């Protein structure tokens, strides 16, 4: 099969570059796939808008516009029989059912409609990292065990801050004081360092397992 996997940001892309091969196998053997950073697509859409409008539109509005454009293109370009597109974004503090339905509805607005689906990281992509505490410990042997053991899987708790409290010197408070782009760089480093050690079958994050199971179902169906 051929997969186009759209993920919310650079750290998500870095993480999936570790995890997707563990699910689908190496590229082209037999499945082909590409992982795309939605943020990069978003900036292309914003570049075509009046500057004032681009600065004031809510993130969800730009996200939906970006995905609509991309999904319509996939509907026309992906192989009809074995091409699929998977959209992976953070739930953050949105309503799960409402946000999922809004994203899924974008597929039906395309003609032709691309095959695929939507999966949400609950609350954020760092939840998938915290779903494998052994991988966190291997990447960061000095991690704060009290913080790790008290994390509740896929809880709405400020997930990246929780991970920062476990592995970043000075914790989330210090990292927040520094601000962006440092926060983004740290998230990418966490994804890279922890992702290489993660075991997809045993990840305790329900939202990661929903993503994992979708990919497995698709390739199993293709083999039948």
The pLDDT tens digits of the residues spanning 85-102 come to: 999 999 999 999 999 999
Per-residue pLDDT band for 222 (boundaries 50, 70, 90) equals: low
Distance CA 188, CA 166 (A): 16
- DSSP bridge pairs for 85: 4, 116
Helix, strand, coil percentages, rounded to 5, for the chain: 60, 10, 30
Check residue 50 and give its pLDDT: 84
pLDDT, position 224: 52
Neighbour-count burial for 134-171, b at 16+ CB within 10 Å, e otherwise: ebbbebbeebeeebbeebeebeeeebbbbbbbbbbeeb
pTM for this entry: 0.93
Residue 47, pLDDT score: 84
pLDDT of residue 57: 85
The domain spans of the chain are 2-223
Percent of the chain with pLDDT over 70: 98
**What DSSP state is assigned to residue 151?**
P
Assess whether pLDDT exceeds 60 at residue 37.
yes
B/e letters for 197-208, b = 16+ CB within 10 Å, e = fewer, are ebebeebebebb
* Res 221: pLDDT: 64
User: Higher pLDDT residue, 143 or 44?
Assistant: 143
Tokens of 141: 């042997």
């Amino acid at each position: 099969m051929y997969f186009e996997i759209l993920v919310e940001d650079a750290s998500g892309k870095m993480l999936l570059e570790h995890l997707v091969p563990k699910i689908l196998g190496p590229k082209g053997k037999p499945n082909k796939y590409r992982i795309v950073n939605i943020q990069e697509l978003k900036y292309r859409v914003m570049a075509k808008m009046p500057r004032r409008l681009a600065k004031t539109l809510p993130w969800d509005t730009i996200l939906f516009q970006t995905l609509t454009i991309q999904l319509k293109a996939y509907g026309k370009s992906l192989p009809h029989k074995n091409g699929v597109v998977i959209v992976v974004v953070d739930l953050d503090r949105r309503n799960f059912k409402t946000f999922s339905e809004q994203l899924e509805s974008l597929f039906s607005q395309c003609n032709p409609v691309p095959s695929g689906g939507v999966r949400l990281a609950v609350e954020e992509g760092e939840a998938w990292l915290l779903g494998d505490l052994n991988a966190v410990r291997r990447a960061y042997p000095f991690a704060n065990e009290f913080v790790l053991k008290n994390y509740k899987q896929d809880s709405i708790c400020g997930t990246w801050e929780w991970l920062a409290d476990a592995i970043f010197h000075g914790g989330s408070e210090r990292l927040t004081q520094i601000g962006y782009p440092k926060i983004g760089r740290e998230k990418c480093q966490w994804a890279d360092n922890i992702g290489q050690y993660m075991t997809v079958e045993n990840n305790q994050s329900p939202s990661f397992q929903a993503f994992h199971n979708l990919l497995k179902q698709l390739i199993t169906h293709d083999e039948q």
